[in-house]
Every structure is written in C-alpha cells, then in structure tokens.
Amino acid sequence: MRVRRTWPILSLLLLAGCANAGAGPATAPPAGLGGSPTHTSPPSATLAPPQEQGPAFYETQTDSQGSVVFEVTPVGLSATAETLEFEVVMNTHSVDLAWDLAKQSVLRTDLGKEVKGLSWPMGSGHHFSGTLSFPGQTTDGMALLDGAGILTLMIQDTDVPERVFTWKVQP
C-alpha cells in the first residue's frame, strides 16, 4: 500500500526536476575555484544598424534570334558612375563572333539621352564574353541615368539587324 502512495510523489518530483533542467545551460566554474554551477541566460538579439545600399541588381536578359544567343547583364549601374558596364556572353555554333560591339551599340534612356559604346574586348570564336562599356555621361556632361526610368541597349548588325535589351532603372 505504501508503494502506491509514494509513486505519485516520485512522479511529481521527477517532472519538477525535468522542467527545471531546461531552464538554461549550466556553466561549470573554472577548475580550482570551487562553487556551484550557474545558469546563464540565452543571448539576446539586437537589430543591426541599416547598411548603405550597394549597386542595384539587374537581371540577365537573353536574345536568341538568329544563330547567336546573347546574354546581357548590367553590372553595377549608377547615375554617378563614370562608365556603365554590361557583361555580354555570346554563344553560337555557326558564326564567328569577331564583332566590335562598342561600335555597334547604343545605350538610350526613356528621356531621349543617348551614348555610343566606349569599349569592348575584341575576340573571336563561337563562344565569347566580355564587358561592354558606355560613358556614364552624355556629350553635354549630363549623367545618362539621371531621372531615367527605362534604359535600352541596342546592338546592331550582328547576325541579325538589331537586338534590343530593356531594363527599368533602379534608384
């Protein structure tokens, strides 16, 4: 009969001990200092200060008309940049890619501002990539992207008359 009365008491003590065990991690004192373990509270999170925004992210666009596939990605476009750059990847199995894209390209905004290509690393073969650069300012010294909402890259006279890539300008 006594076994039946002690069983509920032992169960309660066991549950109380388990509940207390999850209160926090016990930290043992350094060796030789004695004392009993102490409980430390979990670390608290704080909000990090806002960081400055980096360059805007623009998605890669693909033009697969004709026998050459063009993939064009704007790289770090900014209204204050001296040059506006685009990573261009060309792939084909039938045409030599020895084009001077700087001479064949125009960059235009929805405000009517326009600049011609500045530089392109000449190469050839069936798979070629490089950075196509444009001046960040028009001939009258105005920032090309200042106030623009849409940016359009036109590449002419490749294996097709014209390829057009358009992006919404990000602040």
Say yes or no to pLDDT of 13 above 60. Answer: no
Say yes or no to pLDDT of 69 above 70. Answer: yes
- Distances 12 to 3, 20, 26 between C-alpha atoms, Å: 15, 12, 23
Residue 128 and residue 139 in contact, taking contact as beta carbons nearer than 8 Å: no
Comparing CA positions, the residue from 120, 116, 151, 129 lying closest to residue 70 is: 129
**Quick one: 163 exposed, middle or buried, by C-beta within 10 A (0-12, 13-18, 19+)?**
buried
The pLDDT, as a whole number, for residue 52 is: 45
Q: What are phi and psi for residue 168, nearest 5 degrees?
A: -80, 130
Give 145 or 30, the one with higher predicted confidence: 145
Residue 118 and residue 133 in contact, taking contact as beta carbons nearer than 8 Å: yes
Topology (CATH level 3) of domain 61-168: Immunoglobulin-like (2.60.40)
What is the model's pTM? 0.67
Find the radius of gyration of the CA atoms of the chain: 33
- Return left, alpha or beta for 19; rule: phi > 0 is left, psi -120 to 50 is alpha, else beta: alpha
Q: Average of pLDDT values for 73-83?
A: 93
Q: What is the pLDDT of residues 96-155, one digit of tens each?
A: 999 999 999 999 999 999 999 999 998 888 899 999 999 999 999 999 999 999 999 999
First to last CA, the chain: 81
Give 49 or 82, the one with higher predicted confidence: 82
